[in-house]
Structure 1
Amino acid sequence: MKNLKLLFVIIIISISFYTIIMSIKLTIDLKDAKEQLKSYQPSQMILSYGNIEYLDRGDGEVLLVCHVIFGGFDQGYESLKDLTKDFRILSPSRFGYLNSHVLGKGTPEEQCKAYIELLDKLNIDKVFIVGTSAGGTVAIRFALDYPNRCKGLILYSSAMPETEKPKKINLYQAPPNFLCNNLPMYLISPFFKTIMGMERNVVKTMLPIDKRKKGVKIDGEITNPDMAVNYDNYIIEEIEIPTLIFQSKDDKITKYEKFITSVKRFKNSTLKIFETGGHLLVGHEKEINDTVKNFINAHK
């Protein structure tokens, strides 16, 4: 009994010590993250429903980026910044992320309407629409709803459509609400590798989480389940624009077995499959960028 009490005390002390140390590290990283966001000097534009925040960098063919969950204009831009030497990267924060307001309920359809309004304001006629991870749902919706505004669809480790109408649907597809805060997410970051196949430093790109939490909630409740909930409205076979799709076999988030079946619904697609790299396609940056350049130059 004494040994159990001692073990319990040791565990409590260890957890407390761990929390204190991580809280100190979080304070430093949070300050750095906020300074980094300011350094981008993002643009703000008032649309019919409110503000949209975005980065607009480079010249040439326009790549409109739909960023990942826990993202924002910063993550969208960072995923493609090496391409600014050749192309124009337009990276908005999606609904609820950072300083972007929400149109209606924040559905992918409404997000696409907001994109069109932004493009019209910027006098941009057509784009290559890019979807990364959860942002893939919005990119696919954009390709379906506005094919006349698309030159091509590019998907990085993207959410994929269902192959048949599901009988059961997970109506919340995001981390539990209590984790969608700075300290809880930071505390579990050492386990990212085991859970998601990502290095713990990825958590730094998610900060400040409290400024992204509303967007995460929209993604969890609306964006991520949308292709299942509204299965009949995602007729992927109708997408005629050329599509470029990147995926790794060891991705722990987008399961390869489901991916390889779903991707067959894209009729005009080019696939680039990697054996390794995980969800973030780590280690293949140059090959990916070269492939994107070739794809755009072939279809611009």
Structure 2
Amino acid sequence: MLKCIAIMGLLIIGAYLIVQGVGCKKAIQEGKHRLEEYGAKNIELCYGNMRYVDRGDGDVILSVHGIFGGYDQAYDTCKDFASDYRILAPSRFGYPGSDIKGAGTPSEQAEAYVELLDRLGINQVYVLSTSAGGSVAIRFALDYPERTKGLILYCSAMPLTEKPEKYSEYAGPPEFLCNNYAMFLMRPVFGPVMGMDPSTIYSMMPVSERKAGVVLDAAVTNPDMARNYESYDIENLKVPVLILHAKDDKLASYESAVNASARFPKYIFVSFEDGGHLMAGHEAEVHKAVTDFVQQNGLTERK
């Protein structure tokens, strides 16, 4: 009897894995097709290729996406602004269509953005970051204040309030999980662990085209504000900052955002009771907050 139960259990598990494999394959195909629909452009920079979406007119918002992202995630974060602003949404290092410069540090990522702006003839931008893109966006604002009209931190990674005695050298998912099938199987835990709908997996596919970026973020980008704490001179940041954060964000701590905000010389903090890491359901409020921020800082480029 026990043997029969064990065999039945194995058959059920096997059938489940097969069904999931079929679903994963379909999600990969749909993900590849979805990426093509963005009409992303390629540009050859001094170190290699960068792929980006460039849509709209007006003040430029440079969108710095988070982990498991790419030009698609970068654009989708700002798509509600596309009727009012020019959205520049590149893939960061290691994400779809973008090569890695040097060690791939936030400083090098910021340098690559400056080269992209120069090639496109763009003088100044509002830099908007989500999640793991926070250290890159903050680095950009610190290193290139003359190119930065304002910094918008959208449920973003935030600077530390003091130098840590120790920190994680690898802050992200284990490399062995960074594949299509493993992540597809993990989608049921997206809600309880990350506060995201399981359907989020479809915007992450194909994971295989994002793996290099995910591993780079975990090993280099995410630990950088702890590893190089002294170089993040937040108190002397010269640009205005808008912080948007949800209290129930399970991936970027709201408490840490509140504590870190005091380090910025000039900032506005807009909080939401719910919405999670993606601030779902608050699109109109986010749009208004960003519009008000831009209008307060002027609609024309500062000379």
TM-score by length of 2: 0.96
**Match for residue 26 of structure 1?**
24
Q: Is the contact between residue 131 and residue 156 of structure 2 (CA under 8 Å) also seen in structure 1?
A: yes
Q: Which amino acid aligns with 1:131?
A: S
How far apart, CA to CA, are the structure 1 residues paired with 2:80 and 2:12? 43
How far apart, CA to CA, are the structure 2 residues paired with 1:106 and 1:16? 40
Residues 146-295 of structure 1 aligned to structure 2 (within 5 Å): 146-295=144-293
Q: Which SS does the other structure have where 1:155 is aligned? A: strand
Q: Cα–Cα, structure 1 residues 223 and 270, in superposed 2: closer, same or farther, change >3 Å?
A: same
Aligned pairs, number: 298
How far apart, CA to CA, are the structure 2 residues paired with 1:191 and 1:245? 28
**How far is the alpha carbon of 1:7 from its aligned partner?**
4.9
Structure 2: stretches of 5+ with no match in the other structure: 299-303
**How far is the alpha carbon of 1:110 from its aligned partner?**
0.2
How far apart, CA to CA, are the structure 2 residues paired with 1:101 and 1:94? 8
Question: Which one of 58, 61, 64 corresponds to residue 63 of structure 1?
Answer: 61
**How far is the alpha carbon of 1:13 from its aligned partner?**
2.6
How far apart, CA to CA, are the structure 2 residues paired with 1:266 and 1:66? 19
Q: Which amino acid aligns with 1:130?
A: L
**Match for residue 73 of structure 2?**
75
Q: Cα–Cα, structure 1 residues 11 and 267, in superposed 2: closer, same or farther, change >3 Å?
A: farther
Q: Is the contact between residue 195 and residue 250 of structure 2 (CA under 8 Å) also seen in structure 1?
A: yes
- Percent identical among aligned pairs is 48
How far apart, CA to CA, are the structure 1 residues paired with 2:143 and 2:66? 21
How far apart, CA to CA, are the structure 1 residues paired with 2:236 and 2:4? 65
Q: Is the contact between residue 62 and residue 88 of structure 2 (CA under 8 Å) also seen in structure 1?
A: yes
Q: Which amino acid aligns with 1:248?
A: A
Q: Which SS does the other structure have where 2:51 is aligned? A: strand
How far apart, CA to CA, are the structure 1 residues paired with 2:240 and 2:12? 54
Structure 1: stretches of 5+ with no match in the other structure: none
CA shift digits 1:237-281 (9 cap, x unpaired): 111211001111111111222222112111211011011111110
**How far is the alpha carbon of 1:204 from its aligned partner?**
0.6
Q: Is the contact between residue 142 and residue 238 of structure 2 (CA under 8 Å) also seen in structure 1?
A: no
Q: Cα–Cα, structure 1 residues 245 and 17, in superposed 2: closer, same or farther, change >3 Å?
A: same
**Match for residue 83 of structure 2?**
85
How far apart, CA to CA, are the structure 1 residues paired with 2:46 and 2:214? 23
How far apart, CA to CA, are the structure 2 residues paired with 1:270 and 1:11? 55
Question: Which one of 286, 295, 298 corresponds to residue 297 of structure 1?
Answer: 295
**How far is the alpha carbon of 1:15 from its aligned partner?**
2.3
Q: Which amino acid aligns with 1:35?
A: H
Q: Which SS does the other structure have where 2:277 is aligned? A: coil
Q: Which amino acid aligns with 1:291?
A: A
TM-score by length of 1: 0.97
Larger deviation, residues 262-271 vs 217-226: 262-271
How far apart, CA to CA, are the structure 2 residues paired with 1:224 and 1:8? 43
Q: Which amino acid aligns with 2:76?
A: E
Q: Cα–Cα, structure 1 residues 6 and 231, in superposed 2: closer, same or farther, change >3 Å?
A: farther
